[in-house]
Amino acid sequence: MRRLAISVASSLILAAAPVAAQELSELALPPSGDNQRAEVSQWIGPVKVTIAYHSPRVHLQGVTDRTGHIWGELVSYGFFDEGFGPSKATPWRAGANETTTIAFSDDVRVEGKDVKAGTYGLFLAVQKDAPWTLILSKHIGWGSFQYDSTNDILRASVTPQDAPFTEYLTYAFTDRLPSSAVGYLQWENKRVPFKIDVPNVNALYIAQIRRQLESWAGFKYQSWQTAAQFAVANKIALDEALVWANKAIYEPFRNAAQGKQDFSTFATKASVLQALGRDTDADTTMDRAMHLEGASATGIYAYGVTTLNAGRKERALEIFKSDQRLFPNDRFWSYLGLARAYTALGDKKNAIASWEVVLQNVPPAQSNAKPRFEAALKTLKGG
């Protein structure tokens, strides 16, 4: 009798081993069905998106070919009863074994719908001849067994696409732009894309910059200058950018770090003032900048071109004249500026004279632009 009891107990232990392998995750055992765990992350600007899943393959155990039997057979269409747990109508877990999850470090939009930062279960309701339904659930659970539609935070229609044969179920990202990316699942002959947008990406960068300026980066004037330049380029937090620009010039950290009063930092401040619509203040700042360390004929020319492109022709002419006075030995950049300004103002005589000086002093690095200069001069002469 004792031997029989031991034999029965041993049989129960052996029968329970596969279940224990699933439950005791602290043990380093192979995943069920050899569906290996996988994870992929993509940064969209400062936002991190991570998808964690188990990856089944088309050829079961590398031998049995299930091609043509994945969609609608291995993965049932619609909502179905898996026979486990409380739910009798479950979507596909969009992977194998445990629930597939997707995590967002910050708030995003998925298929045009707002999703808060967090980690969610990712499910798909597969259809034969209709769009599929992408589901994000605030309850992760295990697989689809505890799925409950009341926990859905997002449902969106997604259209599957034909795709090259893919042996292993794979998640990846494509169409990666500064504020968006397209995530997708690809397996067998299907790809299912879903778009993720970060609508406030520049605001997130600004928030990150604020934090960084309070750390070691804030002891360098260049960090404050770069922060101001980013704000101007993206037309965001401009009042704050003016503070940052002044810190770059004068004192990033009181009694701890010195600013830099040169052409570059003053030009940054001027760009902030221009973005704020304070052109007179910006002009005064640049008038001072042109006499500071780091000023160059090229730099002043670039500032003049920006002013000319803004339609401020008279101001641009004054800038190019200042360039000529400050750098009398330069016979190219300052005269190129004058030629452009006089042409814009309709002063044909001075424009022709300036273009002729330019053409006599084209540096080797600008030789490819010489035909354009010649054409401009020819047009002015009426030829």
User: What is the pLDDT at residue 231?
Assistant: 98
User: What is the pLDDT at residue 255?
Assistant: 78
Which residues in the chain land under pLDDT 50? Answer: 1-24
User: What is the pLDDT at residue 26?
Assistant: 63
Question: 131: which residues sit within 8 A by CB, 6+ positions away?
Answer: 157, 158, 159, 160
Domain ranges of the chain: 28-197, 201-380
User: What is the pLDDT at residue 383?
Assistant: 57
User: What is the pLDDT at residue 25?
Assistant: 54
pTM of the model as a whole: 0.79
User: What is the pLDDT at residue 21?
Assistant: 46
How many angstroms separate the CA atoms of 336 and 330, rounded? 10
Report DSSP letters for 261-325, one per residue. Answer: -SHHHHHHHHHHHHHTT-HHHHHHHHHHHTTSTT--HHHHHHHHHHHHHTT-HHHHHHHHHHHHH
Amino acid at residue number 260: K
124, 160 in Cβ contact below 8 A?
Answer: no
Topology annotation, domain 201-380:
1.25.40
**What separation in angstroms does the CA of 156 have from each of 12, 69, 110, 130?**
45, 25, 8, 13
How many angstroms separate the CA atoms of 350 and 228, rounded? 38
